[in-house]
């Protein structure tokens, strides 16, 4: 099972001495597009900037939930996942970056700023990344793909027809049975679901197993075709 995530706009600064010039990013088929985007953004300094794992670099609500921020007994530091959980994240969690394209959560990346809607001297990011990813998607088949990306990031690299995947939306359910979509709880619930999958004794491989992971952390998954509704009651 693969989870596709958006990045967060907020990012942790600093990092280790290794640079992306020294450590190649995964999915080398995206390297030409990466070079084009970095050049168009005038961000060549990123090539020699300090790096850290993407899952640690991003600091927003979604990634805070993945690291268990706020849970009783969980460290407040960003690296609260165990070594075995990080190893599982390496093979199951991919992040859609406007600067680097699709990357495994453990790839080393520098701090950067680039939104998917940014205009870069006439460069069409959606077309560039969409075309560049066409050769990547066939390599990701063989298991369920759970798409938790926001609309803007999903549009950067749409999953082609014929590749089975499920799209998740989040709804907050209130005691009276009414539901609303709230951005903060959308991100938090998605992070909680990914954390539940990473910390489960066995990595989920089926929708039934994913539903069990969700239930373990107080979430409910409703299935309608290839659309999943993740229900949280945290705001109540």
> Residue ranges of the domains in the chain?
2-232
**Model's pTM, two decimal places?**
0.93
Length of the chain: 236
Read off the tokens for 199: 């910390």
List, for residues 82-141, the tens digit of each pLDDT value. Answer: 999 999 999 999 999 999 999 999 999 999 999 998 888 889 999 999 999 999 999 998
Look-up: residue for tokens 């549009």?
A: 155
Region 16-31 average pLDDT = 92
Over pLDDT 90: what percentage of the chain?
A: 83
Question: Which residues touch 235 (CB under 8 Å, ≥6 apart)?
Answer: 172, 174, 180, 182, 185
CB 171 within 8 A of CB 230: yes
Q: What is the dihedral of CA 113, 182, 91, 208, to 10 degrees?
A: -170
d(CA 57, CA 8): 9
DSSP 102: E
**pLDDT (tens digit per residue) in 131-188:** 999 999 999 988 999 999 999 999 999 999 999 999 999 999 999 989 988 888 999 9
Give the distance, in angstroms, between the CA of residue 57 and the centroid of all CA atoms in the same chain.
12
Nearest to 4 by CA among 121, 145, 208: 145
Mean pLDDT of all residues belonging to the chain: 92
């Amino acid at each position: 099972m693969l989870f596709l995530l958006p990045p967060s706009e907020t990012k942790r600064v600093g990092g280790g001495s290794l640079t992306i010039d020294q450590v190649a990013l995964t999915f080398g088929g995206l390297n030409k597009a990466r070079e084009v985007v970095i050049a168009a953004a005038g961000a060549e300094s990123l090539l020699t900037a300090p790096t850290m794992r993407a899952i640690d670099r991003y600091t927003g609500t979604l990634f805070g939930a993945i690291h268990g921020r706020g849970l009783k007994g969980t460290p407040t530091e960003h690296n609260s996942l165990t070594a075995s959980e990080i190893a599982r994240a390496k093979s199951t969690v991919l992040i859609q970056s406007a600067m680097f394209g699709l990357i495994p959560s453990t790839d080393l990346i520098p701090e950067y700023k680039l939104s998917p809607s940014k205009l870069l001297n006439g460069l069409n990011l959606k077309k560039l990344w969409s075309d560049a990813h066409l050769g990547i998607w066939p390599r990701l088949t063989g298991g369920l793909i759970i798409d938790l990306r926001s609309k803007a990031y999903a549009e950067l690299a749409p999953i082609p027809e014929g590749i089975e995947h499920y799209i998740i939306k989040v709804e907050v359910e209130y005691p009276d049975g009414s539901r609303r979509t709230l951005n903060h709880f959308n991100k938090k619930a998605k992070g909680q679901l990914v954390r539940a999958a990473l910390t489960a004794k066995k990595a989920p491989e089926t929708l039934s197993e994913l539903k069990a992971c969700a239930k373990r952390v107080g979430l409910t998954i409703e299935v309608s075709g290839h659309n999943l509704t993740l229900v949280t009651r945290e705001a109540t």
